[in-house]
């Protein structure tokens, strides 16, 4: 049996994530490692790309949360195998650090966990504070880790109102931190009104936003 | 409105499918305001754990603004707590507004849930407290206002008892297992609802927001959620309301098959379209509680409420909990707008 090509394995990884077929993803990931193909390439163009497609299926109302969760499980199964083999070289430098959590009073963390996953895939260092996080903790953790980005998540209207308070407290301590907010009740308008730097409409979008924000920070420092 | 003193009559007549001469504005979901709490000198954390404070806080929204219902409780932890979960009350002595949450679930997995149904629910968790609050509310205002209470729906309650990720994945992978749990929870909720009715609640709302189309597919709603809602509504006295917030456009017709007397939807629902689909239904909604009532001005509130009235609801309801720190002038504008246009719409 001829070994699969890089392209075939990338496709298998991608489809495996979209079809939440953990076994297929694991098989493909192991083959990537065995064939000594580029693991980072497999992560980004296979797994992450698959998740992007899942994001679109969610946005267009084909997939719902259970499907997205199962796709994420499949992705993680592959990531666990591939990540140790991702070569560390200049182009894969740590993109930056992110503090992430669900605000106090809110115990929903599905969206937050998907955003965290996208950051991890892309090479960010993620400090996950979990859910129901006291507002001051976000500030403390950002100072402790000197993270470039702080991500706040809330799933309910009654808890998102803690976000402007966190934003204000962080700005007082460190005006250069980029703050991104997201969650069902949040909108681009609200993010703007509260002085956030970015708004995450969904997980893949959160990663795009984060890369853009880090880019602006690097320009500041240049 | 309190101005013409017939609020209770209008609301109850409406809920009982009788003809009314105006559209009322009320809610079946807990709605407290800090304005009301200030009147009594209460802090937010206190009102969930004391029957008198709970009743008075609920009453204040009716008394201060003429909002046409008195509803208890306010937080979503009551049923889960009665089944053994721990609740966090966020009481640090301050006045901050944080709704109680479940801090200790029954298990991390649906498969591990050991449902310990109390022999006597009327003694479990805060049920005695909520029942007492209902009795007090009825005694204080039962001649003037409709007294409401509410529970979570079976699916949403399941999400309180175990890890939500696990529940959602198993809803897809092992629906029979989830079905078994939901059937048991439906029976639990029937018991609780009957206790609230005994205590004097005029109407009951079931909140099943865990099953909105933002989370599960309409197909899953039909196969996994609807049967258990039907079970609940078939076993409790009228009048009842089924409330689901989030995107309900694809499931509103199925909601109408649940057996609830009325449906409540939020701002994501296209109310005019839903009205067209369900011309005879009691359809309540759909104020955006944050963007309109909190962020709005009296002018934008009037315009927004007028639009809602034009979309044809049977009653104007907030889409979900009213944010407690709602500006009093916006609450006043809400009720003034209802007074202005509510009778016209019926005429």
DSSP chain A: -PPPPHHHHHHHHHHHHHTT-HHHHHHHHHHHHHTT--HHHHIIIIIIHHHHHHHHHHHTTSS-HHHHHHHHHHHHHHHHHHGGG----GGG----EEEEEEBTT----HHHHHHHHHHHHHT-EEEE--SSB-HHHHHHHHHHHT-SEEEEE-SSHHHHTTHHHHHHHHHHH-TT-EEEEESTT--HHHHHHTT-SEEESSHHHHHHHHHHHHHHHHHHH-
Yes or no, beta carbons of B169 and A161 under 8 Å apart: no
Element (H, E) at B233: helix B226-234
- DSSP annotation of B247: -
CATH topology of domain A6-89: 1.10.1240
Q: Tens digit of pLDDT for each residue in B65-98?
A: 999 999 999 999 999 999 999 999 999 999 999 9
Counting as low any pLDDT under 70, the low residues of chain B are 1-4, 346-347
Question: Beta B101-104 vs B86-88: how paired, if at all?
Answer: antiparallel
Of B88, B169, B290, the CB nearest to A185: B290
Yes or no, beta carbons of B88 and A132 under 8 Å apart: yes
The whole-angstrom distance between B108's CA and the closest CA on chain A is: 14
Handedness of CA A17, A18, A21, A27 (dihedral sign): negative
pTM over 0.90: yes
Q: Quote the pLDDT of residue A212.
A: 78
Q: ipTM of this model? A: 0.91
B chain contacts of residue A61, beta-carbon cutoff 8 Å: 213
Is B194 in CB contact (< 8 Å) with chain A?
no
Q: Tens digit of pLDDT for each residue in A197-208?
A: 999 877 777 777
B chain contacts of residue A68, beta-carbon cutoff 8 Å: none
B chain contacts of residue A58, beta-carbon cutoff 8 Å: none
Of A61, A66, A158, the CB nearest to B172: A66
Which CATH entry fits the domain spanning A94-221: 3.40.50.280, 3.40.50.300, 3.40.47.10, 3.90.1570.10? 3.40.50.280
Q: Where are the domains of chain A?
A: 6-89, 94-221
> Nearest residue on chain B to A59, judged by CA atoms?
B214
- Percent residues over pLDDT 70 in chain B: 98
Q: Where are the domains of chain B?
A: 7-346
Q: Quote the pLDDT of residue B140.
A: 98
Q: Tens digit of pLDDT for each residue in B307-338?
A: 999 999 999 999 999 999 999 999 999 999 99
CATH topology of domain B7-346: TIM Barrel (3.20.20)
Going by C-alpha positions, the residue among B259, B273, B266, B274 that lies closest to residue B316 is B266
B chain contacts of residue A67, beta-carbon cutoff 8 Å: 172
Element (H, E) at B311: none
């Amino acid at each position: 049996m001829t070994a699969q090509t890089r392209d075939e394995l990338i496709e298998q990884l991608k489809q495996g994530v979209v079809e939440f077929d953990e076994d297929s993803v694991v098989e493909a990931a192991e083959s990537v490692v065995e064939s000594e193909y580029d693991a980072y390439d497999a992560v980004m163009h296979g797994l992450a790309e698959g998740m992007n497609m899942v994001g679109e299926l969610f946005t267009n109302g084909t997939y719902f949360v259970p499907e997205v969760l199962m796709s994420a499980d499949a992705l993680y199964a592959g990531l666990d195998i591939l990540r140790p083999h991702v070569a560390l070289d200049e182009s894969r430098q740590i993109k930056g650090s992110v503090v992430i959590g669900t605000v106090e009073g809110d115990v929903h963390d599905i969206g937050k966990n998907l955003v965290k996953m996208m950051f991890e895939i892309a090479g960010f260092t993620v400090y996950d504070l979990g859910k129901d996080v006291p507002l001051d903790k976000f500030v403390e953790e950002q100072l402790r880790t000197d993270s470039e980005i702080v991500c706040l998540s809330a799933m309910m209207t009654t808890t998102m109102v803690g976000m402007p308070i966190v934003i204000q407290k962080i700005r007082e301590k460190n005006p250069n931190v980029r703050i991104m907010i997201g969650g069902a009740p949040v909108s681009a308008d609200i993010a703007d009104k509260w002085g956030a730097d970015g708004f995450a409409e969904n997980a893949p979008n959160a990663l795009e936003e984060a890369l853009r924000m880090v880019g602006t920070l690097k320009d500041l420092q240049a | 409105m309190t101005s013409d003193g017939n609020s209770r009559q209008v609301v109850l007549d409406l809920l009982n499918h009788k003809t009314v001469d105006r559209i009322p504005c009320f809610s079946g979901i807990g709605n407290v305001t800090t304005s009301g709490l200030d009147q009594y000198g209460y802090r937010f954390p206190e009102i969930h754990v004391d029957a008198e404070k709970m009743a008075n806080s609920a009453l204040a929204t009716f008394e201060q603004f003429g909002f046409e219902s008195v509803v208890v409780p306010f937080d979503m932890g009551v049923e889960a707590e009665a089944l053994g979960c721990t609740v966090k009350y966020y009481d640090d002595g301050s006045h901050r507004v944080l709704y109680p949450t479940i801090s200790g679930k029954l298990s991390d997995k649906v498969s591990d849930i050991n449902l310990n149904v109390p022999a006597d629910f009327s003694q479990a968790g805060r049920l005695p407290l909520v029942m007492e609050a209902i009795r007090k509310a009825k005694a204080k205002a039962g001649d003037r206002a409709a007294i409401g209470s509410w529970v979570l729906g079976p699916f949403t309650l399941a999400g309180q008892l175990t890890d939500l990720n696990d529940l959602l994945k198993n809803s897809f992978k092992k629906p029979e297992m989830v079905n078994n749990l939901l059937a048991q929870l439906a029976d639990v909720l029937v018991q609780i609802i009957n206790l609230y009715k005994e205590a004097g609640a005029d109407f009951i709302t079931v909140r099943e927001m865990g099953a909105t189309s933002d989370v599960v597919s309409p197909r899953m709603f039909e196969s996994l959620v609807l049967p258990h809602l039907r079970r609940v509504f078939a076993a409790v006295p009228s009048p009842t309301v089924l409330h689901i917030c989030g995107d309900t456009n694809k499931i509103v017709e199925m909601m109408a098959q649940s057996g609830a007397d009325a449906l409540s939807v939020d701002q994501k629902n296209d109310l005019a379209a839903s009205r067209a689909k369900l011309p005879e239904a009691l359809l309540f909604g759909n104020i955006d509680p944050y963007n309109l009532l909190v962020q709005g001005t009296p002018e934008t509130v009037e315009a927004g409420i007028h639009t809602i009235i034009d979309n044809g609801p049977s009653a104007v309801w907030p889409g979900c909990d009213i944010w407690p720190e709602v500006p009093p002038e916006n609450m006043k504008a809400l009720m003034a707008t209802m007074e202005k246009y509510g009778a016209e719409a019926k005429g």
